Structure 1
């Protein structure tokens, strides 16, 4: 029996899809990746009420998905969704991927993808040597707050205190959206750019999501935030609408279309939000190092530039 290498992954959403896409491209498991993605998108639509469930309750569907005898088939589990009413939602649990035909990997080695609500925290407790999670969570958890700003994922490792965590960022997967500064036209004169330099002169409220407060402090730097007071969207209030009401704020954007619909002007992209490959350095064995190298690679179009 060969070695099993467990890897912590997100349970759902864009980060998990990015991880599955990476495994599909590197290990030829396109069919498996498509099956998991399709199942979870279907279940998300059922949870949101945009798709009928054909009368089956969530437990019956879960039993159908997870009544498997082959570990190479995916299993799922239930979590409480954070939507109104907190419905139960089917999410990814685990699957085993044999690496029999992969060059450089010892015979009979298998990778087991294990779903976790917050993979980064599972790595911090040494449950896993490798995992994937949002770069945001690393900033929210362990990076040092300094007067100077942080504007590249590549600089994150330098701000992790070795006494605080053994986890390090290896590379990003390129599924990038940005924490973007945005404001209404009346807050920023037309001749000025909406950027960090503007924020250094600005005094007043800045609208952000509460969960991103530490991230924003790290990204902007404590010096820039002098004279700035954080405000938060009211419960149920759309983020862009709350920023428009405040006049200026920071939120995630891909195209920026929703922000523009609320009359906001997009400013500087402050920091890239991206799914990242993480490692707990003391837990890395020779086999883990080989798999890490296979998951990394020059083909990744990432905002990250961290050497492994």
Structure 2
């Protein structure tokens, strides 16, 4: 058994952020790059953007051949394409062995006391356990104050700085003046969001601003930016904002960072887990939560 077992996502930006951060501190960049590039290739195969010259079983066997450091597996979730995803990887950290273990929902694994430490998107914490309040939730440093201790023992330790933002977007006809939270407080009408983000948006805007607002959602197959352009106002995760501008939208206030966070179930933590937390301390521009 590894000294330190950590739950991580099976794929996507949060997993890549974790691999890159640990690689930086342990000097194992080649290993991290190999895992990331392999998973990106498998994603492209699943989406039909890349042609594979071997069967999925042959590819899995090839990835495992002669490799004792990491393992991949097939996504077994019902109703999902059986894409090759992350299973586990082992690192040496001083005198400790750190094993990252893939989970579909790391945050929920911590809530069920399966792990002391894990990484997941801050979005999921807001969607599941952050309490709603009249005033808005503005940054990750304030998240723990909104978690009911009777609901879960899990807390946010730090963010990894892989930040994109849930951002206000509007058509020029609607965005008359500053497009910020105060604008939302005065606005009456539809606000387009992804269905899964309803509670998140309520938390980061604040319940006082929701009077007169009716949430609406993109129809199946319709891009979020296109749906927001039709509604007039919406909230969506933006990276560069170029797609939003292509749909004629104005970018407003960044409401909340969509960031990978280190989570800890405080009732399960041991002294050895502190070593990994120290390694993951943020650098200058990143935010630690205490």
Q: TM-score range by the shorter chain?
A: over 0.9
Moved over 6 A (4+): none
What residue ranges of structure 1 are gaps of 5+ in the alignment? none
* Cross-structure match for 1:196: 181
Residue correspondences, number: 290
1:11 aligned partner = 10
Give the drift of 1:47.
Answer: 1.1
Does residue 271 of the first structure (1) align with residue 256 of the second (2)?
Answer: yes
- Deviation track 1:32-89 (CA, whole Å, cap 9, x = no partner) reads 10110111111111111111101x222221222235573xx2111111689xx94321
Q: Give the Cα–Cα distance (whole angstroms) in 1 for the partners of residues 77 and 114 of structure 2.
A: 25
Alignment partner of 1:132 out of 114, 119, 127: 119
Alpha-carbon distance between aligned partners in 1 of 2:85 and 2:99, rounded to the nearest angstrom: 16
The equivalences for 1:192-231 within 5 A come to: 192-231=177-216
Which residue of 76, 85, 90 corresponds with 2:84? 90
Residue 259 of structure 1 and its aligned partner are, at CA, apart by: 0.2
Q: Which runs of 5+ in 2 are unaligned?
A: none
Q: TM-score, normalised by structure 2?
A: 0.96
User: 1:241 matched to which residue of 2?
Assistant: 226
Q: Secondary structure at the match of 1:282?
A: coil
SS at match of 1:62: helix
1:182 and 2:169 correspond: yes
Q: Which residue of 2 aligns with 1:31?
A: 30
TM-score under structure 1 normalisation?
0.90
Give the conservation status (yes or no) of the 8 Å contact 2:44–2:50: yes
Secondary structure in structure 2 of the residue aligned to 1:296: coil
Q: Could you tell me how far apart the structure 2 residues matched to 1:3 and 1:178 are?
A: 35
Q: Would you say the 8 A contact 1:58–1:88 is kept in 2? A: no
Residues 85-143 of structure 1, C-alpha deviations (whole Å, 9 max, x = no match): 943210100011122xx2xxxx4x21110001111111111111111110000000100
